[in-house]
Amino acid sequence: MFQLYSLVHQNDRMRGEMQFRSTHHPQIHELEEVEEENIQIPPPRKRSPRAAKRKPRRPTTLIDEFLDENSQIRHVFFPGQKHVIDPMKDTGNDSYYYYPGRIWLDTDGNPIQAHGGGILYDDKLRTYYWYGEYKDGPTYHAHKKGAARVDIIGVGCYSSRDLWKWKNEGIVLAAEKTNETHDLHELNVLERPKVIYNERTGKYVMWMHIDDVNYTKAAVGIAISDYPTGPFDYLYSKRPHGFESRDMTIFKDDDGVAYLIYSSEDNSELHIGPLTEDYLDVTNIMRRVLVGQHREAPALFKYEGTYYMITSGCTGWAPNEALAHAAESIMGPWETMGNPCAGGNKVSRLTTFFAQSTFVVPVPAFPGSFIFIADRWNPADLRDSRYVWLPLIVGGPADRPLDYNFGFPLWSRVSIYWHRKWRLPRGWSSSK
């Protein structure tokens, strides 16, 4: 009976999937085409016979090449100045194309500094605002075993009507230079800022990861502003629900309820809980999800009543495999659907195209279509970290059956498609 039940539901799901694909816009089909990429590892550098005998060389991997700032194929992962995305100069056939991994300039001609960021769409102003870590400073190690870091400069903000040309609105939350006890003192850590708007209070509310140089504070910070372009007033920090909080994000649901999602318990699990009505604190309600799975960098979105989430593994600045998760309720249970990455090559799929998730933006007027936003970290020079924006499509059979069930889930597959060059469908509009 269980097998029959599973078969019936699987057939229903496949019929629904065929209907879903038949209603997809032709331009979305173009984004779903799998684009392969072959990256050749260069031959090893010559070594003296004595050195080779003393320490035999292990085979070099693509990840080794990615992390090696002196790699002969460095330009593949971090293209140089000749290949920048310049919206003020790219006209005609090059207009509105995204090139994942290239330097992306703002309308002033400077590289965009909005790392680990999130995007807010303001309905009243019909404008997108991109907030992120402003990392335009030197990279160094605070101590021998410390991770690469840049002193806090602040949270950068950029505005756009088309998600391609971005105007620098300045630093909307600045570092504290003199007061060493302040959370925002430049020697501390500010990561992954996200902003949502509260219709009840008329305030723009920013949440972020706040830490000390050794990552022992493990807290969230909250700031507010009357305007999307700031300035934001920093309020306080805390450990939500009394637990450590590191990588985090904020999700605002259709009913106006907002949620905090954060990595906790040494990044071994995620915690989810609603915010208060003014978005300035968490409530006492919290659920543990993905327990023991060691996931971070959560990016949530919703489609047709189902909640989806992309997460990364925990490997510091090194890239790793993304996983997609789904739930009928944001509070869980959450089920893991598998690796969403399609195209590229095997190594790039297992490293999220050498990037880490930070946010997902819906594409208006094209249901089931989103932009997956990720950071390609450059631990040798964090200010030169790049952005990987790729099409994310909800649709297609799920990767694998649920661990506890006799069939596949009723929700569709999440796919992030690799493209060296792509753009949003013609005719899309933020106002639709």
Contact of 122 with 96, CB cutoff 8 Å: no
Q: Strand, coil or helix: what is 134?
A: coil
Is the predicted pLDDT of residue 376 greater than 70, yes or no?
Answer: yes
Residue 47 φ then ψ, to 5°: -130, 155
Q: Could you report how far apart the first and last alpha carbons of the chain are, in Å? A: 46
Confidence of residue 92 (pLDDT cuts 50, 70, 90): confident
Residue 125 φ then ψ, to 5°: -95, -5
> Which residue, 7, 22, 26, 51, is CA-closest to 426?
26
* Residue found by looking up tokens 């259709």 in the block: 254
Could you read off the pLDDT of 389-398 as tens digits, one per residue? 999 999 865 5
Q: Which amino acid is located at 401 in the chain?
A: P
pLDDT of the residue at 281: 98
Neighbours of 321 (CB within 10 A): 16
Tell me the whole-structure pTM to 2 decimals: 0.90
> Which residue, 59, 43, 68, is CA-closest to 318?
68
The whole-number average pLDDT for the span 152-157 is 98
Could you read off the pLDDT of 263-306 as tens digits, one per residue? 999 999 999 999 999 999 999 999 999 999 999 999 999 999 99
Contact of 187 with 213, CB cutoff 8 Å: yes
pLDDT of the residue at 182: 98
Cα torsion 167, 96, 37, 113 to 10°: value is 0
Contact of 312 with 357, CB cutoff 8 Å: yes
Q: Which long-range contacts (CB under 8 A, 24 or more apart) does 14-17 make?
A: 14/397, 17/395, 17/396, 17/397, 17/412
Cα torsion 83, 88, 94, 95 to 10°: value is 140
Q: Say which CATH topology domain 60-92+111-417 has.
A: Tachylectin-2; Chain A (2.115.10)
